Amino acid sequence: MGIFAVLALPLLLFGISGIIYIYQSVRWLLSKSAVQNKVVVITDAISGLGKECSRVFHNGGARLVLCGRTWEKLEALYDALINVADPSTYAPKLILLDITDINCIRDVAKEIVNCYGCVDILINNASMKVKGAVQSISLELDKKIMDANYFGPITLTKAILPNMIARRTGQIVLINSIQGKIGIPFRAAYAASKHAAVGFFDCLRAEMEEFDISVSTVNPTFICSYHRQPAPGNWEASIWKFFFRKVAYGVHPVEVAEEVLRTVSSKKQEVLMANPIPRAAVYIRTFFPELFFAIVASGIREKQKTEEEN
């Protein structure tokens, strides 16, 4: 009886782990099968996250249309995908696209649609970041951030929509940021553009329901290629002391790309990829705004104190 009691817990844990592994494996296979033969457009495919999304969807058998602003990098991505892919997968199509060049997006959208005659899934991945105090960021830079993070994605989406509406099917995915939910000091332009994008795609989701077009937003914390840690004395370590410390560590592009694939498969409307602390910050900002503002203000005061001491 004693030996059985000792072995019961490890066996139970082993069994639960096996069930979880099988469940995740089956879910992953179903996610990949959901995009097989689908025409998937990925903007800024040459970024770290764009490359991972390209790899994940290419392995799933999607017909990719990869967009980026540098032809040499697009060709390098093409070669990387082809070299490791199953021979039965589709060769990606490459399209030059600068998402900040608003005037050219509609013409590029026609090229995108002409690749296969339709678009099943549009993944708006392009993004631009800026960090600094509000008074130090020029209005020109504010506009550039809005073009990259708001006007560019919505212009491309509007250009692709008629094709989806005519077919009464499609899916639009916005890879946004947790800063579309909460504003972090010294990132005003970036947070404003992300809030604007969330508002637009929330409205679009409701309007497209009658056409069976789904709209999803994926909101990760800081996306990084490695897990960095703020240097001692860095103001970031101070301002994120309470809520945003784990935002700085971020999530790896592989994690986000796999979540995007699962979101496409399940057609989930909104995903928040965050650790418990930044996730709690989102809810506190919603239900206890005064507490949220007080905590953020304390981080600013600590930053100023640190700068004065240095």
Q: Are 81 and 92 in contact (CB under 8 A)?
A: yes
**Which residues are tagged catalytic?**
190
Residue 99, SS3 per DSSP: coil
Q: How far apart are CA 221 and CA 211, in angstroms?
A: 31
Q: How far apart are CA 255 and CA 40, in angstroms?
A: 19
Q: How far apart are CA 265 and CA 35, in angstroms?
A: 7
Q: How far apart are CA 160 and CA 40, in angstroms?
A: 12
Q: Are 45 and 68 in contact (CB under 8 A)?
A: yes
Burial of 197 (0-12, 13-18, 19+ CB in 10 A): buried
Q: Are 156 and 106 in contact (CB under 8 A)?
A: no
